[in-house]
Amino acid sequence: MSENEALEQRIERALERRPQVAVPAVFAARVARMLPVQRGWGVGVARSAGKMAAGVAAVLLAGALFVLAPHAVPSFSSLAFDVELVVLAELAAVAWVLARMDGERL
């Protein structure tokens, strides 16, 4: 067996060995004391209710856009066009809130 093969075998054995991890009970208890108290159902229900409300708002706003579209003449003197622009801005805001809810807490 050549020197390179022996070195490769030693490296493979070293990489395949799993280290033994042991967490002292005192340290685990100290970390557990530092964790915040979690409530049973409050946070998850509120977040899912907010997502549900935003989803319903998005569907209603998209429906309003389809209702207003045939009546909207691209002119700022047209009330239907102005309302359609406002509804489009609101739909963008709802989409932004939904995107933020997925990534982090609002």
Which residue segment(s) compose the domain that 60 sits in? 3-103
Confidence (pLDDT) at 49: 75
Confidence (pLDDT) at 11: 92
For residues 53 and 74, give the distance between their C-alpha atoms in angstroms, rounded to a whole number. Answer: 31
DSSP secondary structure letter of residue 55: H
Confidence (pLDDT) at 106: 46
Our count of domains for the chain comes to 1
51, two tokens: 């997502």
Q: What is the pLDDT along the chain (106 residues), one digit of tens a residue?
A: 688 889 999 999 988 888 888 889 999 889 888 887 766 555 555 567 777 888 888 888 888 888 878 777 787 787 888 888 888 888 888 888 877 776 655 4
